[in-house]
Structure 1
Amino acid sequence: MGFSGSLEKMMVIAYQKPDFTSEVGRYVVYINPASYSHTFCVKYNDVQAQGSSGGSSEFNRIPPDTVELELVFDGTGVVPSPLPGLMPFTEDGIADQVAKFKTLVFTYNGNIHSPNYLKLSWGSFLFKCKLQKLSMNYTLFKPDGTPLRARAKGTFLGYNDEVELALKARMSSPDLTHVRTVQAGDTLPLMCYRIYGTSAPYLDVARVNELADFRQLAVGTRLLFPPLRETLG
Protein backbone atom coordinates (compact mmCIF):
# COMPACT_ATOMS: atom_id res chain seq x y z
CA MET A 1 0.00 0.00 0.00
CA GLY A 2 1.45 3.38 -0.98
CA PHE A 3 1.05 6.76 0.62
CA SER A 4 -0.72 9.59 -1.17
CA GLY A 5 -0.59 13.34 -0.69
CA SER A 6 1.90 16.07 -1.38
CA LEU A 7 5.22 16.37 0.41
CA GLU A 8 5.00 18.62 3.43
CA LYS A 9 8.12 20.24 4.82
CA MET A 10 8.83 20.74 8.49
CA MET A 11 8.76 24.37 9.58
CA VAL A 12 10.42 26.05 12.54
CA ILE A 13 8.41 29.16 13.43
CA ALA A 14 9.75 31.78 15.85
CA TYR A 15 7.77 34.13 18.10
CA GLN A 16 8.58 37.02 20.40
CA LYS A 17 5.80 36.40 22.91
CA PRO A 18 5.25 33.37 25.17
CA ASP A 19 1.62 33.11 24.02
CA PHE A 20 3.03 32.40 20.54
CA THR A 21 1.86 35.57 18.86
CA SER A 22 4.04 38.12 17.05
CA GLU A 23 5.78 35.79 14.62
CA VAL A 24 9.29 37.00 13.81
CA GLY A 25 10.24 34.47 11.15
CA ARG A 26 10.20 30.88 10.02
CA TYR A 27 12.58 28.35 8.55
CA VAL A 28 11.43 25.66 6.08
CA VAL A 29 13.79 22.69 6.16
CA TYR A 30 15.49 21.39 3.02
CA ILE A 31 15.22 17.74 4.05
CA ASN A 32 12.59 16.46 6.48
CA PRO A 33 14.03 14.63 9.51
CA ALA A 34 14.39 10.88 9.09
CA SER A 35 13.08 10.58 12.65
CA TYR A 36 12.60 12.49 15.86
CA SER A 37 12.33 11.47 19.50
CA HIS A 38 9.76 12.85 21.94
CA THR A 39 10.77 12.20 25.55
CA PHE A 40 8.54 12.44 28.61
CA CYS A 41 9.97 12.36 32.12
CA VAL A 42 8.79 12.05 35.72
CA LYS A 43 11.01 13.24 38.58
CA TYR A 44 11.04 11.45 41.94
CA ASN A 45 12.72 12.11 45.29
CA ASP A 46 14.64 9.13 46.64
CA VAL A 47 13.73 8.67 50.28
CA GLN A 48 15.94 6.24 52.20
CA ALA A 49 16.57 5.97 55.90
CA GLN A 50 20.19 5.88 57.02
CA GLY A 51 21.48 2.31 57.10
CA SER A 52 18.50 0.85 55.25
CA SER A 53 18.96 -1.49 52.30
CA GLY A 54 16.38 0.18 50.11
CA GLY A 55 14.24 3.25 49.82
CA SER A 56 11.08 4.53 48.25
CA SER A 57 10.59 7.00 45.43
CA GLU A 58 8.20 9.87 46.08
CA PHE A 59 6.75 11.89 43.22
CA ASN A 60 8.42 15.27 42.79
CA ARG A 61 7.25 16.84 39.51
CA ILE A 62 6.72 16.34 35.80
CA PRO A 63 9.30 18.43 33.93
CA PRO A 64 8.74 19.67 30.37
CA ASP A 65 8.98 17.05 27.64
CA THR A 66 11.75 17.28 25.06
CA VAL A 67 12.06 16.68 21.34
CA GLU A 68 15.34 15.75 19.67
CA LEU A 69 15.83 15.78 15.90
CA GLU A 70 18.46 16.23 13.23
CA LEU A 71 18.24 18.69 10.32
CA VAL A 72 20.43 18.72 7.23
CA PHE A 73 21.76 21.90 5.63
CA ASP A 74 22.88 21.47 2.02
CA GLY A 75 24.58 23.96 -0.26
CA THR A 76 25.70 21.63 -3.05
CA GLY A 77 22.69 22.26 -5.28
CA VAL A 78 21.81 18.54 -5.23
CA VAL A 79 18.92 19.15 -2.83
CA PRO A 80 16.42 21.63 -4.31
CA SER A 81 15.21 24.60 -2.31
CA PRO A 82 12.02 23.65 -0.40
CA LEU A 83 10.22 26.70 -1.80
CA PRO A 84 11.06 28.58 -5.01
CA GLY A 85 13.39 31.46 -4.26
CA LEU A 86 13.40 30.74 -0.52
CA MET A 87 17.15 30.40 -0.09
CA PRO A 88 19.23 30.75 -3.27
CA PHE A 89 22.63 29.11 -3.27
CA THR A 90 25.55 31.44 -2.74
CA GLU A 91 29.32 31.35 -2.78
CA ASP A 92 29.14 31.07 1.01
CA GLY A 93 27.83 27.49 0.78
CA ILE A 94 25.45 26.87 3.68
CA ALA A 95 26.47 29.97 5.65
CA ASP A 96 23.23 31.84 4.87
CA GLN A 97 21.04 28.84 5.71
CA VAL A 98 22.78 28.22 9.03
CA ALA A 99 22.80 31.92 9.96
CA LYS A 100 19.06 32.26 9.33
CA PHE A 101 18.29 29.13 11.35
CA LYS A 102 20.50 30.17 14.28
CA THR A 103 18.99 33.66 14.31
CA LEU A 104 15.53 32.15 14.73
CA VAL A 105 16.24 29.44 17.30
CA PHE A 106 19.45 30.37 19.11
CA THR A 107 20.35 34.06 18.91
CA TYR A 108 19.49 36.19 21.96
CA ASN A 109 16.48 38.40 21.28
CA GLY A 110 16.90 41.66 23.18
CA ASN A 111 13.17 42.40 23.06
CA ILE A 112 12.36 39.38 25.23
CA HIS A 113 15.79 38.92 26.89
CA SER A 114 16.10 35.32 25.70
CA PRO A 115 16.11 33.32 22.47
CA ASN A 116 12.77 33.17 20.61
CA TYR A 117 9.81 30.98 21.46
CA LEU A 118 9.43 28.27 18.82
CA LYS A 119 6.91 26.01 17.17
CA LEU A 120 8.03 22.87 15.36
CA SER A 121 5.35 22.09 12.79
CA TRP A 122 5.24 19.04 10.53
CA GLY A 123 1.94 17.45 9.48
CA SER A 124 0.05 16.52 12.65
CA PHE A 125 3.14 17.18 14.80
CA LEU A 126 3.11 20.55 16.57
CA PHE A 127 5.48 21.24 19.44
CA LYS A 128 5.76 24.54 21.31
CA CYS A 129 9.22 24.91 22.75
CA LYS A 130 12.51 26.74 23.20
CA LEU A 131 15.90 25.54 22.05
CA GLN A 132 17.93 23.81 24.75
CA LYS A 133 20.95 22.61 22.79
CA LEU A 134 22.23 22.79 19.21
CA SER A 135 25.17 20.82 17.83
CA MET A 136 26.47 21.44 14.28
CA ASN A 137 28.43 18.72 12.48
CA TYR A 138 29.98 19.90 9.17
CA THR A 139 30.53 17.05 6.72
CA LEU A 140 31.33 18.43 3.23
CA PHE A 141 33.51 21.34 2.11
CA LYS A 142 34.74 23.26 -0.91
CA PRO A 143 38.47 23.07 -1.65
CA ASP A 144 38.86 26.40 0.18
CA GLY A 145 37.20 25.01 3.31
CA THR A 146 33.75 26.61 2.82
CA PRO A 147 31.16 24.23 4.37
CA LEU A 148 28.68 22.77 1.87
CA ARG A 149 26.76 20.39 4.12
CA ALA A 150 26.06 20.11 7.83
CA ARG A 151 23.88 18.16 10.23
CA ALA A 152 22.31 20.05 13.11
CA LYS A 153 21.25 18.06 16.15
CA GLY A 154 18.76 20.05 18.19
CA THR A 155 17.20 19.45 21.58
CA PHE A 156 14.01 21.43 22.14
CA LEU A 157 12.40 21.90 25.56
CA GLY A 158 8.61 21.98 25.69
CA TYR A 159 7.09 25.30 26.73
CA ASN A 160 3.67 26.28 28.07
CA ASP A 161 2.92 29.82 29.18
CA GLU A 162 1.40 30.58 32.58
CA VAL A 163 -2.10 31.03 31.15
CA GLU A 164 -2.04 27.65 29.47
CA LEU A 165 -0.69 25.96 32.58
CA ALA A 166 -3.45 27.54 34.65
CA LEU A 167 -6.08 26.35 32.19
CA LYS A 168 -4.71 22.80 32.25
CA ALA A 169 -4.72 22.80 36.03
CA ARG A 170 -8.28 24.08 36.10
CA MET A 171 -9.46 21.47 33.58
CA SER A 172 -8.26 18.74 35.96
CA SER A 173 -9.73 20.36 39.06
CA PRO A 174 -12.08 18.18 41.15
CA ASP A 175 -14.16 21.31 41.80
CA LEU A 176 -15.39 21.42 38.19
CA THR A 177 -17.95 19.34 36.33
CA HIS A 178 -16.35 16.78 34.01
CA VAL A 179 -17.75 14.60 31.24
CA ARG A 180 -15.85 11.42 30.43
CA THR A 181 -16.38 8.64 27.89
CA VAL A 182 -16.02 5.09 29.20
CA GLN A 183 -13.04 3.27 27.70
CA ALA A 184 -12.28 -0.46 27.72
CA GLY A 185 -11.13 -1.50 31.19
CA ASP A 186 -12.69 1.50 32.95
CA THR A 187 -14.53 1.06 36.22
CA LEU A 188 -16.51 3.74 38.00
CA PRO A 189 -14.23 3.78 41.08
CA LEU A 190 -11.19 4.09 38.81
CA MET A 191 -12.72 6.96 36.82
CA CYS A 192 -13.63 8.72 40.07
CA TYR A 193 -10.07 8.31 41.32
CA ARG A 194 -8.66 9.89 38.15
CA ILE A 195 -10.86 12.97 38.54
CA TYR A 196 -11.29 13.41 42.28
CA GLY A 197 -8.14 11.75 43.60
CA THR A 198 -10.37 9.34 45.54
CA SER A 199 -12.75 6.57 44.49
CA ALA A 200 -15.11 7.29 47.40
CA PRO A 201 -17.78 9.22 45.42
CA TYR A 202 -18.46 6.41 42.91
CA LEU A 203 -21.92 5.60 44.34
CA ASP A 204 -22.92 9.26 44.20
CA VAL A 205 -21.69 9.48 40.59
CA ALA A 206 -23.68 6.33 39.75
CA ARG A 207 -26.78 7.97 41.21
CA VAL A 208 -26.23 11.22 39.29
CA ASN A 209 -25.95 9.26 36.04
CA GLU A 210 -28.87 6.97 36.94
CA LEU A 211 -26.78 3.85 36.46
CA ALA A 212 -28.73 0.67 37.20
CA ASP A 213 -25.50 -1.30 37.63
CA PHE A 214 -22.29 0.67 38.07
CA ARG A 215 -20.28 -2.59 37.75
CA GLN A 216 -21.25 -2.96 34.08
CA LEU A 217 -20.12 0.19 32.24
CA ALA A 218 -20.72 0.11 28.49
CA VAL A 219 -17.75 1.30 26.46
CA GLY A 220 -18.60 4.60 24.77
CA THR A 221 -21.04 5.72 27.48
CA ARG A 222 -20.62 9.37 28.48
CA LEU A 223 -20.75 9.96 32.21
CA LEU A 224 -21.15 13.17 34.18
CA PHE A 225 -18.84 13.78 37.14
CA PRO A 226 -20.12 16.77 39.17
CA PRO A 227 -17.88 18.97 41.35
CA LEU A 228 -16.46 17.10 44.32
CA ARG A 229 -18.07 19.39 46.90
CA GLU A 230 -21.50 18.70 45.36
CA THR A 231 -20.87 14.97 45.00
CA LEU A 232 -19.85 14.55 48.61
CA GLY A 233 -22.22 17.16 49.92
Structure 2
Amino acid sequence: MYVGIPNPNFIVPLDKMTIEPEGKSKFKVLYNPESYTQSRSVRYAEANGVSTNTPVVQFAGGTMEILEFRLFFDSMSAGTEVGGNLLDQAKFAANSLLPTLGKMVDVRNYTKKVYSLMEIDPDKHVPPLVKLEWSSLQFKGHLISCKQNFVRFSEHGIPLRAWLDCTFQEFVAPLKANLPRPLESPDTTKYRTVHQGDSLWSMSAKEYGQPEQWRAIANANGLANPRMLRTGSRLVLPALK
Protein backbone atom coordinates (compact mmCIF):
# COMPACT_ATOMS: atom_id res chain seq x y z
CA MET A 1 0.00 0.00 0.00
CA TYR A 2 1.35 3.43 -0.96
CA VAL A 3 2.02 5.79 1.93
CA GLY A 4 3.25 9.28 1.21
CA ILE A 5 2.26 12.83 0.41
CA PRO A 6 -1.46 12.96 -0.43
CA ASN A 7 -2.72 14.29 -3.73
CA PRO A 8 -2.65 18.09 -3.29
CA ASN A 9 -5.94 18.34 -5.18
CA PHE A 10 -7.66 16.86 -2.12
CA ILE A 11 -6.30 19.71 0.02
CA VAL A 12 -6.46 22.67 -2.38
CA PRO A 13 -8.64 21.90 -5.41
CA LEU A 14 -7.30 23.20 -8.70
CA ASP A 15 -8.98 26.31 -10.05
CA LYS A 16 -10.55 25.00 -13.25
CA MET A 17 -11.37 27.06 -16.32
CA THR A 18 -15.14 27.52 -16.59
CA ILE A 19 -17.06 28.03 -19.82
CA GLU A 20 -20.51 29.61 -19.67
CA PRO A 21 -22.64 29.80 -22.82
CA GLU A 22 -25.17 32.63 -22.68
CA GLY A 23 -28.50 31.36 -21.40
CA LYS A 24 -27.11 27.95 -20.40
CA SER A 25 -25.39 26.39 -17.42
CA LYS A 26 -21.64 26.82 -17.18
CA PHE A 27 -19.30 23.85 -17.04
CA LYS A 28 -15.67 23.19 -16.13
CA VAL A 29 -13.01 21.80 -18.42
CA LEU A 30 -11.57 18.42 -17.42
CA TYR A 31 -7.98 19.69 -17.57
CA ASN A 32 -6.75 23.25 -17.66
CA PRO A 33 -4.86 24.27 -20.81
CA GLU A 34 -1.08 24.21 -20.52
CA SER A 35 -0.93 27.64 -22.14
CA TYR A 36 -3.03 30.12 -24.06
CA THR A 37 -2.34 32.81 -26.63
CA GLN A 38 -4.01 36.20 -26.96
CA SER A 39 -3.54 38.25 -30.11
CA ARG A 40 -5.00 41.17 -32.02
CA SER A 41 -3.94 43.22 -35.03
CA VAL A 42 -4.56 46.51 -36.80
CA ARG A 43 -4.86 47.19 -40.52
CA TYR A 44 -3.32 49.96 -42.59
CA ALA A 45 -4.39 50.62 -46.18
CA GLU A 46 -2.21 52.12 -48.88
CA ALA A 47 -3.03 54.10 -52.00
CA ASN A 48 -0.76 55.64 -54.61
CA GLY A 49 -0.22 59.29 -53.80
CA VAL A 50 -0.57 62.06 -56.36
CA SER A 51 2.91 63.13 -57.56
CA THR A 52 4.63 61.31 -54.70
CA ASN A 53 7.14 58.49 -54.53
CA THR A 54 5.49 56.81 -51.57
CA PRO A 55 1.91 55.65 -51.07
CA VAL A 56 -0.57 57.35 -48.80
CA VAL A 57 -0.95 55.23 -45.66
CA GLN A 58 -4.15 55.42 -43.67
CA PHE A 59 -5.21 53.52 -40.55
CA ALA A 60 -8.11 51.30 -41.64
CA GLY A 61 -9.20 49.84 -38.30
CA GLY A 62 -8.41 47.18 -35.76
CA THR A 63 -9.56 43.63 -35.15
CA MET A 64 -11.09 41.85 -32.21
CA GLU A 65 -8.85 39.96 -29.80
CA ILE A 66 -8.28 36.27 -30.51
CA LEU A 67 -7.85 33.72 -27.72
CA GLU A 68 -6.38 30.32 -28.58
CA PHE A 69 -5.65 27.28 -26.43
CA ARG A 70 -5.67 23.47 -26.46
CA LEU A 71 -7.85 21.38 -24.16
CA PHE A 72 -7.09 17.81 -23.09
CA PHE A 73 -9.83 15.22 -22.48
CA ASP A 74 -9.18 11.76 -21.04
CA SER A 75 -11.90 9.47 -19.74
CA MET A 76 -9.32 6.87 -18.60
CA SER A 77 -7.90 9.07 -15.84
CA ALA A 78 -8.64 9.06 -12.12
CA GLY A 79 -11.28 11.48 -10.97
CA THR A 80 -9.48 13.56 -8.36
CA GLU A 81 -7.73 15.89 -10.78
CA VAL A 82 -10.40 16.38 -13.41
CA GLY A 83 -12.97 19.15 -13.49
CA GLY A 84 -16.72 18.74 -13.37
CA ASN A 85 -19.08 17.90 -10.54
CA LEU A 86 -18.66 15.15 -7.94
CA LEU A 87 -20.67 12.73 -10.08
CA ASP A 88 -18.27 13.21 -12.99
CA GLN A 89 -15.26 12.73 -10.74
CA ALA A 90 -16.73 9.54 -9.26
CA LYS A 91 -17.50 8.23 -12.75
CA PHE A 92 -13.94 8.86 -13.92
CA ALA A 93 -12.45 7.35 -10.77
CA ALA A 94 -14.51 4.18 -11.22
CA ASN A 95 -13.71 4.01 -14.92
CA SER A 96 -9.96 4.29 -14.27
CA LEU A 97 -10.04 1.04 -12.24
CA LEU A 98 -11.44 -0.98 -15.14
CA PRO A 99 -9.30 -2.74 -17.77
CA THR A 100 -9.21 -1.06 -21.16
CA LEU A 101 -11.74 -3.55 -22.48
CA GLY A 102 -14.22 -2.42 -19.85
CA LYS A 103 -13.78 1.34 -20.16
CA MET A 104 -17.08 2.69 -21.41
CA VAL A 105 -16.96 6.46 -20.69
CA ASP A 106 -17.13 8.04 -24.14
CA VAL A 107 -14.94 11.15 -24.09
CA ARG A 108 -17.19 12.74 -26.73
CA ASN A 109 -19.78 13.29 -24.00
CA TYR A 110 -17.40 15.95 -22.68
CA THR A 111 -15.78 17.27 -25.86
CA LYS A 112 -19.19 17.99 -27.38
CA LYS A 113 -19.88 20.54 -24.62
CA VAL A 114 -17.18 22.67 -26.21
CA TYR A 115 -17.65 21.63 -29.83
CA SER A 116 -21.39 22.45 -29.74
CA LEU A 117 -20.63 26.08 -28.86
CA MET A 118 -20.50 26.71 -32.63
CA GLU A 119 -24.05 25.43 -33.19
CA ILE A 120 -26.69 28.05 -33.98
CA ASP A 121 -29.13 28.92 -31.21
CA PRO A 122 -32.60 28.30 -32.75
CA ASP A 123 -34.06 31.30 -30.90
CA LYS A 124 -31.34 33.85 -31.67
CA HIS A 125 -30.17 32.35 -35.00
CA VAL A 126 -26.52 32.73 -34.04
CA PRO A 127 -24.08 30.61 -31.99
CA PRO A 128 -24.15 31.46 -28.28
CA LEU A 129 -22.02 34.15 -26.72
CA VAL A 130 -19.53 32.49 -24.38
CA LYS A 131 -17.86 33.71 -21.19
CA LEU A 132 -14.53 32.15 -20.19
CA GLU A 133 -13.16 32.48 -16.67
CA TRP A 134 -9.91 31.14 -15.32
CA SER A 135 -8.37 33.08 -12.46
CA SER A 136 -7.27 36.42 -13.95
CA LEU A 137 -8.37 35.42 -17.47
CA GLN A 138 -11.79 36.89 -18.19
CA PHE A 139 -12.89 36.62 -21.81
CA LYS A 140 -16.21 37.08 -23.60
CA GLY A 141 -16.69 36.09 -27.21
CA HIS A 142 -17.59 33.36 -29.69
CA LEU A 143 -15.98 30.04 -30.51
CA ILE A 144 -15.03 30.48 -34.17
CA SER A 145 -12.90 27.36 -34.68
CA CYS A 146 -12.54 24.00 -32.93
CA LYS A 147 -10.57 21.00 -34.14
CA GLN A 148 -11.14 17.66 -32.40
CA ASN A 149 -8.37 15.07 -32.45
CA PHE A 150 -9.27 11.68 -30.92
CA VAL A 151 -6.07 9.80 -30.07
CA ARG A 152 -7.05 6.71 -28.05
CA PHE A 153 -9.90 4.21 -28.27
CA SER A 154 -11.24 1.22 -26.39
CA GLU A 155 -11.37 -2.25 -27.92
CA HIS A 156 -14.95 -1.41 -28.86
CA GLY A 157 -13.86 1.70 -30.76
CA ILE A 158 -15.13 4.16 -28.14
CA PRO A 159 -13.01 7.36 -28.08
CA LEU A 160 -11.30 7.66 -24.69
CA ARG A 161 -8.82 10.50 -25.18
CA ALA A 162 -8.88 13.69 -27.23
CA TRP A 163 -7.30 17.08 -27.84
CA LEU A 164 -9.35 20.12 -28.81
CA ASP A 165 -7.71 23.13 -30.47
CA CYS A 166 -10.00 26.08 -29.75
CA THR A 167 -10.07 29.60 -31.14
CA PHE A 168 -12.32 32.25 -29.60
CA GLN A 169 -12.96 35.73 -30.97
CA GLU A 170 -13.69 38.61 -28.60
CA PHE A 171 -17.13 40.23 -28.57
CA VAL A 172 -17.51 43.88 -27.62
CA ALA A 173 -21.05 45.21 -27.40
CA PRO A 174 -21.41 48.41 -29.45
CA LEU A 175 -22.21 51.57 -27.54
CA LYS A 176 -24.78 53.84 -29.14
CA ALA A 177 -22.72 56.90 -28.29
CA ASN A 178 -19.72 55.49 -30.16
CA LEU A 179 -21.53 54.33 -33.26
CA PRO A 180 -20.59 56.24 -36.42
CA ARG A 181 -23.36 58.24 -37.97
CA PRO A 182 -25.02 56.60 -40.96
CA LEU A 183 -23.29 57.16 -44.27
CA GLU A 184 -25.00 59.75 -46.42
CA SER A 185 -25.87 58.93 -49.98
CA PRO A 186 -22.68 58.94 -52.11
CA ASP A 187 -24.58 60.20 -55.17
CA THR A 188 -25.18 63.63 -53.62
CA THR A 189 -22.66 66.47 -53.59
CA LYS A 190 -21.74 67.55 -50.05
CA TYR A 191 -19.49 70.13 -48.40
CA ARG A 192 -17.28 69.56 -45.38
CA THR A 193 -15.05 71.79 -43.26
CA VAL A 194 -11.53 70.51 -42.66
CA HIS A 195 -10.66 69.91 -39.00
CA GLN A 196 -7.26 69.24 -37.51
CA GLY A 197 -6.22 65.65 -38.15
CA ASP A 198 -8.52 65.19 -41.15
CA SER A 199 -7.27 63.50 -44.31
CA LEU A 200 -8.82 62.89 -47.71
CA TRP A 201 -8.54 59.17 -47.04
CA SER A 202 -10.53 59.32 -43.81
CA MET A 203 -13.12 61.67 -45.36
CA SER A 204 -13.62 59.29 -48.26
CA ALA A 205 -14.01 56.32 -45.90
CA LYS A 206 -16.46 58.22 -43.71
CA GLU A 207 -18.60 59.76 -46.44
CA TYR A 208 -18.49 57.14 -49.18
CA GLY A 209 -17.54 54.00 -47.30
CA GLN A 210 -14.70 53.67 -49.82
CA PRO A 211 -11.30 55.07 -48.71
CA GLU A 212 -9.90 54.73 -52.23
CA GLN A 213 -12.28 57.46 -53.50
CA TRP A 214 -10.02 60.15 -52.00
CA ARG A 215 -8.83 60.95 -55.53
CA ALA A 216 -12.32 62.15 -56.46
CA ILE A 217 -12.21 64.65 -53.59
CA ALA A 218 -8.69 65.78 -54.54
CA ASN A 219 -9.67 66.30 -58.19
CA ALA A 220 -12.88 68.14 -57.31
CA ASN A 221 -10.96 70.62 -55.14
CA GLY A 222 -7.86 70.95 -57.33
CA LEU A 223 -5.55 69.62 -54.64
CA ALA A 224 -2.08 68.84 -56.00
CA ASN A 225 -0.88 67.48 -52.66
CA PRO A 226 -3.65 65.55 -50.81
CA ARG A 227 -1.56 65.61 -47.62
CA MET A 228 -1.64 69.39 -47.39
CA LEU A 229 -5.06 70.18 -45.97
CA ARG A 230 -5.63 73.56 -44.35
CA THR A 231 -7.70 73.48 -41.17
CA GLY A 232 -10.87 75.51 -41.58
CA SER A 233 -10.99 75.26 -45.36
CA ARG A 234 -14.16 74.02 -47.01
CA LEU A 235 -14.05 71.05 -49.38
CA VAL A 236 -16.56 69.82 -51.87
CA LEU A 237 -17.27 66.10 -51.81
CA PRO A 238 -18.52 65.28 -55.30
CA ALA A 239 -21.30 62.87 -56.05
CA LEU A 240 -20.18 59.44 -57.12
CA LYS A 241 -21.83 57.82 -60.07
Query: What TM-score do the two structures reach when normalised by structure 1?
Result: 0.59
Note if 1:146 corresponds to 2:158: yes
Per-residue CA deviation, residues 4-50 of structure 1 (Å, 9 max, x unaligned), is x75210011110xxxxxxx3122201111111000011011122359
Asked if 2 retains the 8 angstrom alpha-carbon contact of 1:13 and 1:25, the reply is yes
Sequence identity (%): 23
Question: Max radius of gyration: which structure?
Answer: 2
Tell me, what secondary structure is at the counterpart of 1:68? Answer: strand
Question: How far apart are the structure 2 equivalents of 1:121 and 1:63?
Answer: 22
Amino acid of the residue matched to residue 141 of structure 2? Answer: C
Structure 2 counterpart of 1:8: 15
Question: How far apart are the structure 2 equivalents of 1:53 and 1:152?
Answer: 49
Q: How do 1:1-233 and structure 2 match up within 5 A?
A: 7-15=14-22, 23-48=23-48, 54-78=54-78, 80=80, 81-82=82-83, 83-86=85-88, 88-89=91-92, 91-103=104-116, 105-162=117-174, 165-166=175-176, 169=178
Structure 2 counterpart of 1:19: none
Question: How far apart are the structure 1 equivalents of 2:46 and 2:109?
Answer: 48
Tell me, what secondary structure is at the counterpart of 1:24? Answer: coil
Question: How far apart are the structure 1 equivalents of 2:74 and 2:168?
Answer: 22
What number of residue pairs does the alignment pair up?
Answer: 158
The CA RMSD measured in Å over matched residues stands at: 2.9
Question: How far apart are the structure 1 equivalents of 2:113 and 2:59?
Answer: 41
Amino acid of the residue matched to residue 8 of structure 1? Answer: D
Question: How far apart are the structure 2 equivalents of 1:157 and 1:144?
Answer: 37
Deviation at 1:77, TM superposition (A): 2.7
Asked if 2 retains the 8 angstrom alpha-carbon contact of 1:76 and 1:93, the reply is no
Question: How far apart are the structure 2 equivalents of 1:143 and 1:46?
Answer: 59
Deviation at 1:140, TM superposition (A): 1.2
Identify unmatched segments of 5+ residues in structure 2: 1-11, 93-102, 180-195, 198-241
Amino acid of the residue matched to residue 165 of structure 2? Answer: K
Question: How far apart are the structure 1 equivalents of 2:70 and 2:50?
Answer: 45
- Evaluate the alpha carbon distance shift between residue 47 and residue 79 of structure 1 in structure 2; reply closer, same or farther with a 3 A threshold: farther
Query: What TM-score do the two structures reach when normalised by structure 2?
Result: 0.58
Asked if 2 retains the 8 angstrom alpha-carbon contact of 1:106 and 1:116, the reply is yes
Identify unmatched segments of 5+ residues in structure 1: 16-22, 171-196, 199-233
Question: How far apart are the structure 2 equivalents of 1:56 and 1:154?
Answer: 38
Amino acid of the residue matched to residue 68 of structure 2? Answer: E
Asked if 1 retains the 8 angstrom alpha-carbon contact of 2:49 and 2:56, the reply is no
- Evaluate the alpha carbon distance shift between residue 55 and residue 6 of structure 1 in structure 2; reply closer, same or farther with a 3 A threshold: farther
Question: How far apart are the structure 2 equivalents of 1:147 and 1:40?
Answer: 35
Question: How far apart are the structure 1 equivalents of 2:54 and 2:79?
Answer: 56
